[in-house]
Amino acid sequence: MKKRDFFKRLCSAFLALGTAFTVIGFNASAAATLSDAKNGLPLFYDSLTTEEKNIYARLRQGVMNNEEKINTYVIKNADSYNRICELILYNDDLTFNLSGISATTTGSHTTFTPTYDIDQFTYSLMVKEMQKAAEKIAKKARKIKDEYSRIEYIHDTITENAEYFPLDDPESYIGYTHYAYGALVEGRAVCQGYSAAFAYVCRMSGIQCITVYGTSRGESHSWNKVLCDGKWYNVDVTWDDPVSNFKDNVTHSYFMLSDLEIAKDHTLKSITGTDLPAEGSREYFSEHGLVAKDNSSALKLLETLLTEQAENGGKTATISLQDNRSFKNFVNHLEYNDRKRMKTLLQSVKKASKADINTKATWYIADAERRTVTVVLVYKNTKLSDYFNAPELIDEKNLDTYKKMGIKIDIPEKTEEKAVEK
């Protein structure tokens, strides 16, 4: 059974009895003991039978120590084998070093044969660094009493500190984008890294969270289900951190959705412990009262948000329109008469906030798919690098537009290396 091949099953039948173990704690700097193996157990562990828990504890200990052969009491049947393997491969925060597993039963014991992506020394160092980075976020998150706001803080912090990093040439890349470590420590991740990091930090913050697997946008994908105020919701941190040069690009289109809502472009696969129905929705814009039904309410909402942003040096404010028709109407409303209404909006914000806003810089971003409108504030002495991660990638046509907005073009000059004669 391989971790990267999400949905492959290796089923074998096993017959025997189990015996109880007692476990707690994990010190990454030393060999994991049987007691260590029960610290930070995955959510579905409690749903295992007593016999399966016994086997799982010993297997988990062996994986933490990168053991080549792990002997346990005999597994009774193929269903138990699948539950144990799927749990340790797909939803255990501390067994990320594991890439695959198989097992054989002879006589009085079952022997697991794991395969590892990471050696024991590297794994121990990674656990320490990952725990440190996660605790930095979790420490602040635990101070937030409201569960929804706590989850939102974790979501936003991970997306702000990590970038999506698809691998064009996976064989030549040395890094850990598939792991929570990638998102939390390296700042680079693919969907597995994002979802693992989100689950790990949530659980350290007192929020129950699991990783789920399936497909999205035509490829294998992983995201999360999180428990908030007694109900499960879907969260896809990966798709909420779009690949973009614009700095303020964190979205909430896949935050706290029902199974029905996320099914528009996500298909769930059946993995042990992930069949937890998310029947309700607490969609971000609705939850925060950021949905406008018409042009008048949209302008009023934006004025309030932009004034607050300007008072605190913020640069953007985003609202959602309730349907496609209201979205199109509002965009046309903003565009009418050379964006005169936008200029009036910015003048009101400037007056209320007393911020030095360029009211002629009518910069907004409309997203038809998400039905959102983001208005960008331009201040005096604003630089291009204040808005973009890599200003040098902006084409000449758009550079001219930003110049007209009064934005300083601070692109570093390219220097040509001169050949050195020997």
Same domain, 113 and 147: no
State both tokens at 366.
């409309």
The last residue of one of the domains, among 84, 101, 117, is 117
Q: How many C-beta neighbours within 10 Å does residue 422 have?
A: 3
State both tokens at 348.
């009101």
DSSP 17: -
Q: What is the mean pLDDT of residues 194-201?
A: 97
Q: What is the CATH number for 310?
A: 3.30.1370
CA distance 125 to 11: 34
Q: Where are the beta strands (DSSP E) in 336-408?
A: 363-367, 372-376
Same domain, 202 and 183: yes
The last residue of one of the domains, among 256, 286, 316, is 286
**Which residue, among 112, 117, 131, has the nearest Cα to 178 in the 3D structure?**
117
In a domain, 410, yes or no: no
Between 172-181, 211-220, 268-277, 317-326, the lowest mean confidence (pLDDT) is in: 172-181
Q: How many C-beta neighbours within 10 Å does residue 216 have?
A: 20
Q: How many domains does the chain divide into?
A: 3
Residues constituting the chain: 422
Same domain, 11 and 54: yes
In a domain, 50, yes or no: yes
Angle at alpha carbon of residue 20, lines to 14 and 24, rounded to 5°: 120
Same domain, 136 and 277: yes
What are the tens digits of pLDDT across the range 71-111? Answer: 999 998 999 999 999 999 999 999 999 999 999 988 889 99
Q: What is the CATH number for 180?
A: 3.10.620
Distances (CA, A) of 187 to 138, 161, 197, 247, 286: 17, 6, 11, 15, 30
Same domain, 79 and 136: no
Task: With beta carbons less than 8 A apart as the criterion, state whether 226 and 232 touch.
Answer: yes
In a domain, 273, yes or no: yes
In a domain, 156, yes or no: yes
Same domain, 30 and 11: yes
CA distance 121 to 62: 15
pLDDT at 360 over 50: yes
Judging by beta carbons within 10 Å of its beta carbon (0-12, 13-18, 19+), is residue 140 exposed, middle or buried? middle
How many separate helices (H) and strands (E) can be counted in the chain?
11, 14
Q: What is the mean pLDDT of residues 227-252?
A: 89
Q: What percent of the chain has pLDDT over 90?
A: 71
Same domain, 277 and 329: no
What are the tens digits of pLDDT across the range 240-287? Answer: 987 777 877 788 999 999 999 999 999 999 887 888 999 999 999 999
Predicted confidence band at 413 (pLDDT cuts at 50, 70, 90)?
low
Same domain, 125 and 272: yes
The last residue of one of the domains, among 380, 396, 413, is 380
Same domain, 106 and 163: no
* pLDDT of amino acid 106: 87
In a domain, 389, yes or no: no
State both tokens at 136.
């930095």
Domain that holds residue 245: 121-286
In a domain, 221, yes or no: yes
In a domain, 393, yes or no: no
Tell me the pTM.
0.85
What are the tens digits of pLDDT across the range 288-306? Answer: 999 999 999 999 999 999 9
Helix (H) or strand (E) holding 334: helix 324-353
In a domain, 200, yes or no: yes
Q: What is the mean pLDDT of residues 59-65?
A: 95
Q: How many C-beta neighbours within 10 Å does residue 368 have?
A: 10
- 242-247's contacts with Cβ under 8 Å and 24+ in sequence apart are 242/164, 243/163, 243/164, 243/166, 245/388, 245/389, 245/390, 245/393, 245/394, 246/365, 246/387, 246/388, 246/389, 247/386, 247/387, 247/388, 247/389
Same domain, 261 and 155: yes
Which of helix, strand or coil describes residue 24?
A: coil
Residues 6+ apart with CB under 8 A from 68: 113, 114
CA distance 251 to 319: 11
Same domain, 279 and 133: yes
Q: What is the mean pLDDT of residues 154-161?
A: 94
Q: Provide the angle, in degrees to the nearest 10, between the axes of the packed helices 191-204 and 147-161.
A: 140
Same domain, 178 and 233: yes
